[in-house]
Amino acid sequence: MVDDTLLETRHLTKEFAGFVAVNDVSLRVRRGTIHALIGPNGAGKTTVFNLLTRFLPATHGQILYRGEDITHARPAEVARRGLVRSFQISAVFPNLTVLENVRVALQRKLGTSFHFWQSERSLDALDERATELLAQVDLASHRELLAVELPYGRKRALELATTLALEPELLLLDEPTQGMGHEDVGRVTALIQRVARDRTVLMVEHNLSVVADLSHVITVLARGSVLAEGPYADISRDRQVLEAYIGSAEPEAAV
Ligand SMILES: Nc1ncnc2c1ncn2[C@@H]1O[C@H](COP(=O)(O)OP(=O)(O)OP(=O)(O)O)[C@@H](O)[C@H]1O
């Protein structure tokens, strides 16, 4: 049987001075899926992301990416292997244009040792790829605007384009619709669906209707531990999940 697990954690645990923020979390993210990590405030979602990107060292447990142990890898090494968190490396420069921002991200991916952009032809290739990426996130018509001039939702789309420039195989999205109005939420949801066609996505998201629309699998964390896992239809009826969210079992009110 083909093993389609792209990312796996085994008994992943993180303690902060004796406080267990992530407790024995074993996850499997399958290739080609959109996998959501949800849970009430303080459940440990951000800490799990920080462990996966190696921003924080794990106290116990293991992280395997494509079957290889990355528990002790450096953050840059993890990103280089294709596990990239949006907004991690990809800062948006406010006074560069939209196009320039994507070009900078592409140049960074190529590295400074490789004198790629010194030739005209290479620069053209870079522009071509930047144009493709902008089209993917619906920013083609905004390419000459300064990043600072973009409305909030569009700025997040630009951040996504600069992340895609790094060619992630597994894209970690940290609350992609946070702080957005209804219209932007719809646009970003569609965008995630599009970029996930040829990638795997693991996302932390508070907006449960976005989670319902996008996710193949949902893992619910509560107080650092996995409480439930499955498709939305199952999760939204799970009594323990409902209780963790609102302390009662009223499905409509919670999920
Ligand atoms: N550096 C740290 N030192 C001590 N405690 C921490 C640290 N980082 C996180 N915690 C604690 O770990 C727990 C989990 O936090 P985390 O931010 O991972 O939760 P979360 O699920 O992402 O929450 P939210 O949805 O509010 O962002 C919280 O109780 C938090 O206070």
Handedness of CA 161, 185, 169, 88 (dihedral sign): positive
Tell me what the pLDDT averaged over the chain comes to: 88
pLDDT, position 34: 98
Q: Which residues contact 44 (CB under 8 A, 6 or more apart)?
A: 14, 21, 22, 23, 25, 221, 223, 224, 225
CATH number of the 1-89+168-255 domain: 3.40.50.300
Percent of the chain residues topping a pLDDT of 70: 88
pLDDT > 50? residue 251:
no
- Mutating to test ligand 1, I would choose from 46, 175, 203, 208 the residue with most ligand atoms within 8 A of its C-beta, which is 46
Residues of the chain with CATH 3.40.50.300: 1-89+168-255
In Å, what is the CA distance from 253 to each residue of 40, 180, 192, 207, 208?
14, 21, 26, 13, 12
How much is the average pLDDT of 215-237? 95
174: DSSP letter: E
Of all protein residues, the one whose alpha carbon is nearest to atom 25 of ligand 1 is: 41
- Give tens-digit pLDDT for 95-108: 999 999 999 888 87
Instruction: Place 235 in a pLDDT band, splitting at 50, 70 and 90.
Output: very high
pLDDT > 60? residue 1:
no
Report the distance separating Cα 43 and Cα 40, nearest Å. Answer: 6
Indicate the pTM of the whole model.
0.89
ipTM of the complex: 0.95
Q: Which residues contact 137 (CB under 8 A, 6 or more apart)?
A: 157, 158, 160, 161, 164, 191, 195
Instruction: Place 183 in a pLDDT band, splitting at 50, 70 and 90.
Output: confident
What token pair was written down for 229?
């896992």
**Which residues partner with 123 through β-bridges?**
none
In the reported structure, the alpha carbon of residue 144 is separated from the centroid of ligand 1 by a whole-number distance in angstroms of: 39
How much is the average pLDDT of 18-29? 97
Q: Which residues line ligand 1 (CB under 6 A)?
A: 16, 19, 21, 39, 41-47
Instruction: Place 53 in a pLDDT band, splitting at 50, 70 and 90.
Output: very high
Of all protein residues, the one whose alpha carbon is nearest to atom 26 of ligand 1 is: 41
- Mutating to test ligand 1, I would choose from 12, 15, 20, 45 the residue with most ligand atoms within 8 A of its C-beta, which is 45
- Give tens-digit pLDDT for 157-172: 999 999 999 899 999 9
pLDDT > 70? residue 133:
yes
